[in-house]
A and B are shown apart, each in its own frame.
Chain A
Amino acid sequence: MIPAAFDYAVAESVDDAIRLLGEGGEDARILAGGHSLLPMMKLRFANPSLLVDLARVSELRGVQVGDATLTIGALTRHADLQGREEYGLIGAAASQIADQQVRNRGTIGGSLANGDAAADLPAVLLALGGSVVVRGSGGEREIAAEDLFQGYLQTSIAHGEVLTHVKVPDLAAAGYGYGYEKFNRRSEDWAMVGVCALVKRAADGTCEDVRIGLTHMAQTPLRASAAEDALRGQPLDAEHIAAAAEHAADGTEPTGDLNATPEYKQHLARVLCERALTTAAG
C-alpha cells in the first residue's frame, strides 16, 4: 500500500502541463482528483515516473451553460455536478459516483480520461453524444465519445495531451427526459452494471428519440442500439418499454467477475434498462 518512487510537478497552466508531460517521458501521468490513480499506485498496479498535478489550473474548473451545449471544465469535481437538475443526466449520474469523499475530490475529466468501463460517466457521455476537448503540443482537438473509449483503461487521448473540457449537448433543454440505474452491492461500489437512458417524447406520445448507455457490459461503455431501435417510434407505455428493454444486452459479451456471471450481467442490463427507460419516459 506504499507506491513506488515517483517525481511530482505542479503545472501552472495547461501549456505548462503539456510541457511537463513532454519532458517527463512516456511514464509521466496527469494527476487530477487522484481517486483512481493513487489507489492504483498504492497497489503498484500503476507506477508512473512523474505526476503532473493540475490542481492549480483553475481555468479548468466550472461549467458554462451555452445555448445547446454544456461545457464542463475537466477539473470540475463530481460534487460540483451532483444532484444539479440543470445538468440533467450528468448531474444524476455524478451523484451516484462512489461516496461523498470521492465526489469531493474526483473530477469529470479524470474519470473520462481514465476510461474505466465500470465508472459512471463514460456511458453517460456516450449516450449524450458528448465529446472531450484535448490539447497537446500540436494544438487542440475534439474527440467524440464514440471515438474516445478504446478498451479497458484505454482512450484515444495521446500521451502528452491534456483533457481540458467536456462538451455535452443540453438534451434536457431539447426535451429529453432521463433515467440512470446503477446496480452495485454497496452504495459506494463501482457499477456491476449501469444503464442510462434519454427519451424524447413526440407530440403524439410515441418515442421520437431514445439513447441508452451501458456501463460495465464490455471493456468500453456501449450504446444499447437494439433496444433503442426497438423503442424509437413506438408508444412510450410499459408494454413497449419492457419489450424494448429485452434487447438491452443484445450483442454484448460481458466478462464475469467476483460478483456477477456474464448471464447475470445481461439479465441486469435488461432489468435496469426497463427501469431507466420508465423513468426517462416520465
Chain B
Amino acid sequence: MSTISEAPAKHVGQSIRRKEDPRLITGRAQYVDDITVHGMLYMSIVRSTEAHANIVSIDSADALAMPGIKAVYTGEDLSDLLAPLPMAWAPPGVEVKVPERWPLARGKVCHVGDAVAMVVGEDKYGVVDAAHAVRVEYENLPVVVDVEEALQDKTIVHEALGTNKTHEWSMGGGDVDAAIAEADIVIERRIVNHRTAGASIEPRGVIAEFRGGDLTVWSSTQVPHLLRLFYAVQMGISEDHVRVIAPEVGGGFGSKLQVCAEETLAAWASRKLKRPIKWIETRSENLAVTHHGRDQVDYVRMAAKSDGTITAFHAKIIQDCGAYFGLLTPMIPELGAFVMTGCYKIANVKTDIVGVITNKYITDAIRGAGRPEMTHMIEVTIDQLAAELGMDPAEVRRKNFIPKDEFPYTTPYGITYDSGDYEKTFDRALEMLDLPALRAEQAELREQGILRGVGYSTYTEICGLAPSRAVGPKGFGLGIGLYESALVRVHPTGSVTVFTGASPHGQGHETGFAQIIADRLGVDPANVEVIHGDTATGPMGLGTYGSRSLAVGGVAAAHAAEKLALKCREIVAFNLEASVDDIEVGSGKFHLTGDPDQGMTLAEVAGCAYIDANAMPEGMELGLEQTLIYDPSNFVFPFGAHLCVVDVDAKTGKVEVKRWIAVDDCGPAINPMLINGQVHGGVAHGIGQALYEQIVYDDAGQLVTGTFMDYALPTASEVPSYELDRTETPSPSNSLGVKGIGEAGTIAATPAIVNAVIDALRHEGISYIDMPLTPLRVWQALQEARGDGDGPRDGEQGVELPDQGVSSAGSGPTKPEGGVA
C-alpha cells in the first residue's frame, strides 16, 4: 500500500466548472447519431413478437422488393461468426451453464424482442418500413415468466441446458445455522427486488465501417476496448485492424457495459456489403432490449441477541437472468454478496445464489449492480429487527457498526474494508435531520391525515473495480483482469494531453482528471485535455463502470503525472545547477524550495525536452511522456448515511419524498461539485426504483412497460432538493485516498425510502411493502392492515408469488396476502 501523496492541492478539492459542459449544453457535442460516414446504409431489426417460439419461416420477399432495401439477413446467414455473444464470468470451481446466444436467433426465440432478422437499406425510414414487411411465422412454445416457477423446470427455455437453473454459488463465514439456533430473535423476510431499466437518455447506437481490411466502429458504449477485443475474437479480425470509438455517450448507468448483438450485426453487414452501416436504437427498443437490472427474489434471515447485537445474516437470492446471459449477468448478485454485511460487524454470514433463466430480456449490471439489492436486504431487515425489539433503528445500527479503529477490517468473507467511520457520517446526517422536530411534525401531521415518516440507510459498498488478481480469471473469475491505464503527454508548448482507458459518459472525467494532472505538473486545468474512448489513441483500457474511473483510472493518471514531474524536476535541477531534492512544483512552475522566483514553467521544461537537447541532463531520454498501467492492491469501500423523510397520503397511498439528507464519504474530494452531481443522480435513480420504475411483463411474456408513459422515470417534480454533506476518510489503498461515488447514492437510496414509508405506516400495523411503493400498493397495504382488503389481481404490479419451500423460523411467515407483512 502506498501513502497519501503530498502533491500540492491547488486545483484538487475545488468545485471547478465542468470542462465538458459548454459543448454539451450548447448542443455541440457529437453523439453517434450525429456522425455521418460517406456511403452509409441503415439497419433495422426485425424483433420477435413472441416470448418463446420456434421460428417456422421468415419471408423477406416483400421487404426486399421495397425501394432502397439492400439486404435482409437471418441467423443462418451469420454462420461465419466465430463465437456467440460473450459472457465473461467463469468462476474457478463453479459450473455455470451458459445458454448460447447469437446476434440473430437461430431457429427459436426466447423473449419478446429477440432479434430475428436484420434489414439494411439506403433510407433510415425505409428500413423500418421494410422490417415491418418481413413476415415471420412462429410456432409458440410454453412461456415461463416467473423466476420461482422457472426454477421448477416445468417449462424449460433452453433444451440444450436441460434446466433453467444455470448455477449455484455460495459464500459463507462463521456458522449461520448455529447462530440462528442460539439467537434471541430471528427476522425473516421475502424481498422482491424488481426489474428496472437503465433508461439512458441517449439510447444505444452504432456505426460500423469495414474498409480496406480495417474495421472502424463508433458505438455508444462504456467499454470501447472490450468491444474491440471481442470484435477481434468474433469476426476473426486482428485487433490492430479494429478501432472502436465511443464518441459523446449520453448516459449508460451500466446498460452500455455490454457487447451487443447490434454491434456485431452492423460490423458483419458492413464487411458483407462493403458499406458503412448505422443503427440507432429507438426508445421502444431501449426499454425492451437494452439490458435490464435487478430482478431478484431474496429470502433473508437475520439473527440477533435481545440487546440488538446482530449475530447472523443469511440471504438466499434467486436471480432472474432473463432468457440468456449478457456480459456479466450471472455474477451480478455475487458482487453484492461481497458487502453482504453492510457496515456491520456480523460474525456469521452466508449468501446462497441461484441463477435462473426465464422468457424475459437479460438482466445485467445497472448502477450499483448487486449492491443496491444487498443493501436493501440488510437495511430493511435491520429496521424490522429494531421494531421487533422495541429499539430505535439508529441505536441498532450504532450497536453493530464496525468501530472506526478496527479498519482495515476483514469481513467473515475475507473481504478487507479499507477504511471507514460510519458513526461520523450517521451522526452528521442525524444532526442535519433534527429528529426531535421531525417526530413532533409527525404527530401533528398525523392528525391531518398525512403520515410522515423518516427512514435511515447506512451503507458501505465495494467499488473501484480492480484489482486484477482479485477479480481476474484465477480470482473471482472475470475473463480479464481489471486495471487502468493512463498516458500523460506534455506537448512542446507545455500544454498537456491525458489519455485514459476509462470511458466516461457524463461523469466529468475531463474536469476531475485535469485537476489531478494540473496540480502535479504546475499548470492550469484549462491546459490539460483529457482524451478517452478511442482505442486508436491511448493504451489498453477497461472502461467506466463499477465506480472505478477515479480510484483506478484517476490514480493511474496521477502516478503517470508524478513520474513526469520527477523528470521535470531533474531537468530543472540540471538547468539551475541545483539538487533535484530542492526542486518542487508550485503555482505555475517547478522552482527551488523556498524561492518561487528561481524555477522553470512546464513550457520551459518541455522546451528542453523537445527542442534543446543541450538543456537536458546527459543520458536522459528526450520528450515528456509517460504511459502507466495501475493495478491497485484492493477495492475501495465508500460509505455514508442517507436519511429520507416522506409524507404518505393516508387516503390515497401516494408517497411524496419531502427531504433527502445524504452524508457520503468517498475520501478526499477531487471536485466536490462532481461528487454532488453523482449523489443527486444516484439518489434520483434509487427514488425511481423505490417509488416509480418497474419493468413489467405479463403472463405471456409481453412487455407491458414499453414506453416512458408506462415506465415511470421520475422527473424533476418527483425528487426533492437534496441536503448533502461529506466526511473525508482516505482510503489507504491508493495514493489519492479516493473512493468511487457514482453508484453510492443508488446503493443507499431504496431502503431509506422503504424504511421511511414503513415508519409512517407502522402504527397502522404495516411492517413491509415491496417496491415500487406505488399509490396502489400502499393503499392496498393500508386496506389489508385495516382489515378491508381488496387484494392484488393477477398480472398487475404488486402481485406476490407463492413461497417456494423456504423454511421459516423465528418471526414466522413474512408474506401474508397483498405483499404486506
* A260, B654: Cα distance in complex, Å: 12
A190 CB contacts on chain B under 8 angstroms: 709
Q: Which of B560-613 contact A (CB under 8 A)?
A: none
B797 at the interface (CB under 8 A from A): yes
A185 CB contacts on chain B under 8 angstroms: 692, 712, 774-775
Closest CB in chain A relative to B692 CB, distance in Å: 6
* A91, B129: Cα distance in complex, Å: 42
B710 at the interface (CB under 8 A from A): yes
A264 at the interface (CB under 8 A from B): yes
**In the bound complex, do residue B718 and residue A187 qualify as a contact, i.e. CB atoms below 8 Å apart?**
yes
A268 at the interface (CB under 8 A from B): yes
**In the bound complex, do residue B790 and residue A264 qualify as a contact, i.e. CB atoms below 8 Å apart?**
yes
Nearest B residue (CB) for A185? B712
In the complex where A1-B283, A43-B284 touch, is A259 in contact with B651 (Cβ < 8 A)?
Answer: no
**In the bound complex, do residue A258 and residue B282 qualify as a contact, i.e. CB atoms below 8 Å apart?**
no
**In the bound complex, do residue B128 and residue A261 qualify as a contact, i.e. CB atoms below 8 Å apart?**
no
Nearest B residue (CB) for A190? B709
Nearest B residue (CB) for A264? B776
Number of A-B residue pairs, CB cutoff 8 Å, is: 65
Nearest B residue (CB) for A4? B129
B692 CB contacts on chain A under 8 angstroms: 185-186
B714 CB contacts on chain A under 8 angstroms: 186
A188 at the interface (CB under 8 A from B): yes
A208 at the interface (CB under 8 A from B): no
* A258, B694: Cα distance in complex, Å: 10
A5 at the interface (CB under 8 A from B): yes
In the complex where A1-B282, A185-B692 touch, is A260 in contact with B129 (Cβ < 8 A)?
Answer: no
**In the bound complex, do residue B128 and residue A2 qualify as a contact, i.e. CB atoms below 8 Å apart?**
yes
Pick from B129, B651, B718, B796: contact of A186, CB below 8 A: B718
* A192, B775: Cα distance in complex, Å: 10
**In the bound complex, do residue A189 and residue B125 qualify as a contact, i.e. CB atoms below 8 Å apart?**
no
B792 CB contacts on chain A under 8 angstroms: 261
A44 CB contacts on chain B under 8 angstroms: 132
* A188, B651: Cα distance in complex, Å: 22
Q: Which of A253-275 contact B (CB under 8 A)?
A: 256, 258-261, 263-264, 267-268, 271
**In the bound complex, do residue A268 and residue B652 qualify as a contact, i.e. CB atoms below 8 Å apart?**
yes
In the complex where A264-B779, A271-B651 touch, is A258 in contact with B696 (Cβ < 8 A)?
Answer: yes
**In the bound complex, do residue B776 and residue A261 qualify as a contact, i.e. CB atoms below 8 Å apart?**
yes
B811 at the interface (CB under 8 A from A): no
* A187, B654: Cα distance in complex, Å: 12
| Contact digits for A177-205, partner B, Cβ 8 Å, 1 yes 0 no | 00000010111111010000000000000
**In the bound complex, do residue A258 and residue B793 qualify as a contact, i.e. CB atoms below 8 Å apart?**
no
| Contact digits for A151-186, partner B, Cβ 8 Å, 1 yes 0 no | 000000000000000000000000000000001011
Chain B: residues with Cβ within 8 Å of the partner, total of 33
**In the bound complex, do residue A261 and residue B715 qualify as a contact, i.e. CB atoms below 8 Å apart?**
no
* A187, B128: Cα distance in complex, Å: 33
* A135, B779: Cα distance in complex, Å: 47
B705 at the interface (CB under 8 A from A): yes
* A178, B283: Cα distance in complex, Å: 40
| Contact digits for B95-139, partner A, Cβ 8 Å, 1 yes 0 no | 000000000000000000000000000001100110010000000
* A192, B707: Cα distance in complex, Å: 17
A258 CB contacts on chain B under 8 angstroms: 696, 704-705, 710, 796-797
* A271, B775: Cα distance in complex, Å: 13
Chain A: residues with Cβ within 8 Å of the partner, total of 25
* A185, B705: Cα distance in complex, Å: 15
Q: Which of B283, B651, B714 has the most CB of A within 10 A?
A: B651
**In the bound complex, do residue B283 and residue A267 qualify as a contact, i.e. CB atoms below 8 Å apart?**
no
* A258, B712: Cα distance in complex, Å: 11
A2 CB contacts on chain B under 8 angstroms: 124-125, 128, 282
Closest CB in chain A relative to B720 CB, distance in Å: 14
* A1, B128: Cα distance in complex, Å: 9
A4 CB contacts on chain B under 8 angstroms: 129, 132
* A268, B692: Cα distance in complex, Å: 19
Closest CB in chain B relative to A260 CB, distance in Å: 6
B79 at the interface (CB under 8 A from A): no
B710 CB contacts on chain A under 8 angstroms: 258
**In the bound complex, do residue A187 and residue B776 qualify as a contact, i.e. CB atoms below 8 Å apart?**
no
B717 at the interface (CB under 8 A from A): yes
Closest CB in chain B relative to A152 CB, distance in Å: 16
| Contact digits for A1-18, partner B, Cβ 8 Å, 1 yes 0 no | 110110000000000000
| Contact digits for B689-711, partner A, Cβ 8 Å, 1 yes 0 no | 00010001000000011010110
**In the bound complex, do residue B283 and residue A186 qualify as a contact, i.e. CB atoms below 8 Å apart?**
no
A264 CB contacts on chain B under 8 angstroms: 775-776, 779-780, 790
| Contact digits for B791-821, partner A, Cβ 8 Å, 1 yes 0 no | 0110011000000000000000000000000
**In the bound complex, do residue B793 and residue A261 qualify as a contact, i.e. CB atoms below 8 Å apart?**
yes
| Contact digits for A130-155, partner B, Cβ 8 Å, 1 yes 0 no | 00000000000000000000000000
A187 CB contacts on chain B under 8 angstroms: 715, 717-718
* A185, B774: Cα distance in complex, Å: 8
Q: Which of A228-266 contact B (CB under 8 A)?
A: 256, 258-261, 263-264
B282 CB contacts on chain A under 8 angstroms: 1-2
Nearest B residue (CB) for A275? B651
Closest CB in chain A relative to B711 CB, distance in Å: 10
A271 CB contacts on chain B under 8 angstroms: 651-652
A189 CB contacts on chain B under 8 angstroms: 709, 712
* A190, B793: Cα distance in complex, Å: 22
Nearest A residue (CB) for B283? A1
Closest CB in chain B relative to A191 CB, distance in Å: 13
* A2, B121: Cα distance in complex, Å: 15
B125 CB contacts on chain A under 8 angstroms: 2, 5
A99 CB contacts on chain B under 8 angstroms: 715
**In the bound complex, do residue A5 and residue B790 qualify as a contact, i.e. CB atoms below 8 Å apart?**
no
* A43, B132: Cα distance in complex, Å: 12
**In the bound complex, do residue B717 and residue A186 qualify as a contact, i.e. CB atoms below 8 Å apart?**
yes
**In the bound complex, do residue A259 and residue B774 qualify as a contact, i.e. CB atoms below 8 Å apart?**
yes
In the complex where A183-B652, A264-B790, A271-B651 touch, is A259 in contact with B776 (Cβ < 8 A)?
Answer: yes
Pick from A192, A256, A267, A268: contact of B796, CB below 8 A: A256
* A186, B776: Cα distance in complex, Å: 14
Q: Which of B480-503 contact A (CB under 8 A)?
A: none
* A189, B709: Cα distance in complex, Å: 7
**In the bound complex, do residue B797 and residue A267 qualify as a contact, i.e. CB atoms below 8 Å apart?**
no
**In the bound complex, do residue B717 and residue A267 qualify as a contact, i.e. CB atoms below 8 Å apart?**
no
* A258, B799: Cα distance in complex, Å: 11
Closest CB in chain A relative to B485 CB, distance in Å: 38
**In the bound complex, do residue B707 and residue A256 qualify as a contact, i.e. CB atoms below 8 Å apart?**
no
Closest CB in chain B relative to A94 CB, distance in Å: 17
Closest CB in chain A relative to B262 CB, distance in Å: 15
Closest CB in chain B relative to A151 CB, distance in Å: 21
Closest CB in chain A relative to B654 CB, distance in Å: 7
Closest CB in chain B relative to A37 CB, distance in Å: 15
**In the bound complex, do residue B718 and residue A261 qualify as a contact, i.e. CB atoms below 8 Å apart?**
no
* A4, B132: Cα distance in complex, Å: 10
Closest CB in chain B relative to A271 CB, distance in Å: 5
> Apart from A2-B282, A4-B132, what are 13 other A-B pairs with CB-CB below 8 Å?
A1-B283, A1-B284, A185-B712, A186-B692, A190-B709, A258-B696, A258-B704, A258-B705, A258-B796, A259-B775, A261-B792, A264-B779, A264-B790
Q: Which 10 A-B pairs have the closest CB atoms?
A: A1-B282, A187-B717, A2-B128, A271-B651, A263-B790, A264-B776, A185-B712, A2-B125, A1-B283, A186-B718
A-B contact pairs, 20 of them (CB 8 A): A2-B124, A2-B125, A2-B282, A4-B129, A5-B129, A183-B652, A183-B775, A186-B692, A186-B712, A187-B717, A258-B797, A259-B774, A259-B776, A259-B797, A260-B776, A261-B793, A264-B776, A264-B790, A267-B779, A268-B652
Could you list which residues of chain B lie within 8 angstroms of chain A, going by C-beta atoms? 124-125, 128-129, 132, 282-284, 651-652, 654, 692, 696, 704-705, 707, 709-710, 712, 714-715, 717-718, 774-776, 779-780, 790, 792-793, 796-797
